[in-house]
A and B are shown apart, each in its own frame.
Chain A
Amino acid sequence: MIEKIVDPEKMRHFPPKGGKIELYWVYTSGRAGEEFFRKLREGKFIAAKCKKCGHRYFPPRIYCEFDFSETEFYEITGEGCVEAFTVATLDLNEEPMEEVIAMIKLDNTDGKIIHVIKDAKEVCIGMKVRPVLRRPEEMKGNISDIAYYKPV
């Protein structure tokens, strides 16, 4: 049997008003993130290479998580290829939607990100994609500064 969701407010003698956590956060992108989003505003992409083992981090980081060495930033194209994808048809609240979400491996790095794929008739694994950036004045310093990815 699958339990149907019922209204929990009906289960109390005093109908509760509900409750809210009235907090908000000013998040930090970090030393590496700050550099990344600054460069992105200039239309450039950077990754970070470990000075010891050579692991190429994307998104960039200031340290290597495997040997705790420092890293150095270097420029990349931002292009990559699709490693996995899904077509999402229900959103968080189970309302209908349609969007292609892909895991994208960035060229010349060992790193991946997830992002939305648009303007594609068909999506397949191995497909080459390139980023479409927002206009610099619309950028907020988070991943949505890349508007979406589209086929090369």
Chain B
Amino acid sequence: MEVEIVKGLKFHKKQDVAIVGAGMTTFKRRLLETGKELSYFAVKQALEEAGLDIKDIEMVVMGSAPDAFDGTALKGEYLLDGAGGSDRPYLRVFVGGGTGVFAPIAGYWHVASGLADVCLVVCEEKMSCCHPHPQSAFKYIWDPILDRPLKPNLIWIFALEMRRYMHVNNIRHEDIALVSVKNKANALDHPCAQVAEKITVEDVLNSEPMALPVRRLDVSPPSDGAAALIMVAPHIARQLTDEPVWVTGVGWALDTTHWTNRDLYFPRYVAEAAKMAYRMAHITDPRKQIDVAEPYDPFDYKELHHMEGLGLAKKGEAPILTREGVTARDGDLPVCPSGGLLGVGNPIAATMGVKACEIYWQLAYRAGKRQVAKEVTTGVCQAWGDLMQVGTVMVMSNKR
């Protein structure tokens, strides 16, 4: 039997989705607080900003990366009470590093579908308890027969990708290092930052080699933290604020787990996810229509790589835009005005605080000292993870 399938994505949403509050903890290695307590701090802040009480929350989405970091199986359930999940529909979502934007996407579909009018999204990560090094937890994401006996290390893999990106596009390390310089400086204005610093390109190029071309200052640090975001239906948003920020598009895509069978120079998974989100948000020329961007920047080259995946720059053009100051906070296309993972820190899923939360704060004009110079209407945030294979994208706008 032949089944006729209408190709293409259809967006039949029940209602629009607004963001009305966000919160995050400082990012650092925290041995005193539990992940539940960190979640509580972030949620409390988001509720206060939104002017809501925990009793107003109908459903909760929790985003948290591998159980191996916290060392508790069923980590979503473990974190539940601190995330306000008691006695309500509660769901944990997880696509590795992509979770920081995937969790708000899941929050979006809770509200857009009409199932909930008020949905709380919480992301938590606590990496400091994992020893000998949180990096060790990543050993177990590889195929146990084909990859793991070679003792692969995430940094090596990224070194391969960075080298390929530099080679194909003829990019120098100096141009990539500028991203680290920019983001660590931007982070000086972020109250939650772990590694904010005024550094130079030379500092990056002379920092400790890890797996060349990757050096210490090309990389974001492991961290602990939590972030929260509140998504509501239009009739709720109207009661809370005159200036909500609307989610206008969401997209996600995964490339094959056989990561060696792809060309690493371009993140196809991000391009596919962006295509979906842009279609929904009616964006045809992202470079012109997007005012501010938070692409995922666990490594400096990754910001450039992801800008190209998001269509904010042509292939190989992102380093040029960076060198020309276009991506600076006072530039024409500010990129990672929060300070990103490179400056604020990298508690995997909790980086929602510098991605989705930051775009919300920028579009709501609530970013304080981090507020970009230009007038902003539309922003995009993106995360990346799993076995270097997932792209998660969310477009927001302060115009409905």
B→A interface (CB under 8 Å): 30-34, 36-37, 40, 43-44, 47, 53-55, 68, 70-71, 81-82, 84, 86, 126, 128-132, 136-137, 140, 144, 148
Is the pair B43, A68 in contact by a Cβ cutoff of 8 Å?
yes
Q: Are A68 and B129 in contact (CB under 8 A)?
A: no
Once the chains are docked, how many angstroms separate the CA of A27 from the CA of B144?
A: 27
CA distance A29 to B70 in the complex (A): 12
* Given A19-B144, A25-B131, A27-B71; A67-B34 close (CB under 8 Å): no
A23, A26, A61: the one contacting B137 at CB < 8 Å is A23
Closest to B36 in A: A30
In the bound complex, do residue B32 and residue A31 qualify as a contact, i.e. CB atoms below 8 Å apart? yes
Partner of B34, one of A19, A33, A65, A66: A33
CA distance A63 to B55 in the complex (A): 15
Check A26–B129 contact: CB distance below 8 A: yes
Question: At the interface, yes or no: A91 with Cβ under 8 Å from chain B?
Answer: no
Q: Check: A34 CB closer than 8 A to any chain B CB.
A: yes
Whether a CB of chain B sits under 8 angstroms from the CB of A3 is no
Closest residue of chain A to B128, judged by CB?
A26
Question: Does the CB pair A23–B84 fall under 8 Å?
Answer: no
- Complex: chain B residue closest to A21, CB-CB: B140
Please classify the interface of chain A as helix (H, G, I), strand (E, B), loop, or mixed, using the class held by over half of its residues.
loop
Interface size (A, Cβ < 8 Å)? 22
Residue of A at shortest CB range from B47? A68
Question: Which residues 11-39 of A have a CB within 8 angstroms of B?
Answer: 19, 21-34
A to B contact number (C-beta, < 8 Å): 68
A62 within 8 A of B: yes
When C-beta atoms are compared, the residue in chain B nearest to A25 turns out to be B71
Given contacts A19-B144, A27-B129, A65-B86, 4 further A-B contacts (CB under 8 A): A21-B140, A22-B136, A28-B31, A28-B34
Q: Are A31 and B47 in contact (CB under 8 A)?
A: no
Give the distance in Å from the alpha carbon of A33 to the alpha carbon of B34 in the complex.
Answer: 9
Q: How far is the CB of B54 from chain A (nearest CB, A)?
A: 4
Q: How many angstroms from the CA of A72 to the CA of B148 in the assembled complex?
A: 49
Q: Which chain B residue lies CB-closest to A30?
A: B34
Q: Is the CB of B55 within 8 A of A31?
A: no
Q: Kindly list chain A residues whose C-beta atoms are within 8 Å of the C-beta of B37.
A: 30-32, 62-63
* CB–CB B55/A67 < 8 A: yes
Contacts of A26 in B (CB 8 A): 31, 128-129, 131
A55 CB to closest chain B CB (Å) equals 11
Q: Given the complex of chains A and B, what is the CA–CA distance between A43 and B144 in angstroms?
A: 48
| Complexed CA–CA distance, A68 and B81 (Å) | 10
Q: List 27 A-B contacts (CB under 8 A).
A: A19-B148, A21-B140, A22-B136, A23-B68, A23-B130, A23-B132, A23-B137, A25-B71, A25-B130, A26-B31, A26-B129, A26-B131, A27-B71, A28-B32, A28-B33, A28-B34, A28-B126, A28-B129, A30-B36, A31-B33, A31-B37, A32-B37, A33-B34, A61-B81, A65-B81, A65-B86, A68-B53
B54 touches A67 (CB 8 A): yes
